[in-house]
Structure 1
Amino acid sequence: MTRNVGGIDRILRIVIGLALIIAAATGAVGVWGWIGVVPLATGLIGWCPPYAIFGINTCKTRTGE
């Protein structure tokens, strides 16, 4: 798996994922809040399956290598 989620995208996924999980755990939202596990996992791993399918990559490219 080549990383395809970079920088700000990863941070946003982690923050949103944690917020949804916390909201679900405290009862602020319904069970659907546990879907926050998905953006949290993709943010932590740095790889997103739909990005791979559609050829999207938000990682910065390295020049000179």
Structure 2
Amino acid sequence: MFTTNEGTIDRTLRVVAGLVLLSLFFLYPDASWRYWTLIGIVPIATGLIGWCPLYTVLGLSTCPVKRS
């Protein structure tokens, strides 16, 4: 259904960034900005799936070119 448009490095960085954001949710339970860190779910999801809807709209891809 979806064509992968993220390379390995891109996917890894997305998952790491998402985990950092989610860890802030648990590290600072009294912060007023705490719930904004839940946005970390988005990069984790796109990193695990390997498909970014924004890349599709912009026509971008970080996948390596397949040589035949």
Q: TM-score, normalised by structure 2?
A: 0.87
Q: Identity of paired residues, percent? A: 47
Equivalent position of 1:41 in the other structure: 45
- Mapped partners of 1:25, 1:35: distance in 2: 14
Matching residue's letter, 1:24: F
Q: Are positions 1:61 and 2:62 aligned together? A: no
- The answer to whether 1:26 aligns with 2:27 is yes
Q: Deviations over 1:27-63 (max 9, x none)?
A: 2661100100000000000000000011000000110
Bigger radius of gyration, 1 or 2?
2
**Structure 2: stretches of 5+ with no match in the other structure:** none
Equivalent position of 1:8 in the other structure:
9
Provide the C-alpha distance between the structure 2 equivalents of 1:50 and 1:7, rounded to a whole number of angstroms.
Answer: 17
Q: Give TM-score scaled by structure 1 length.
A: 0.90
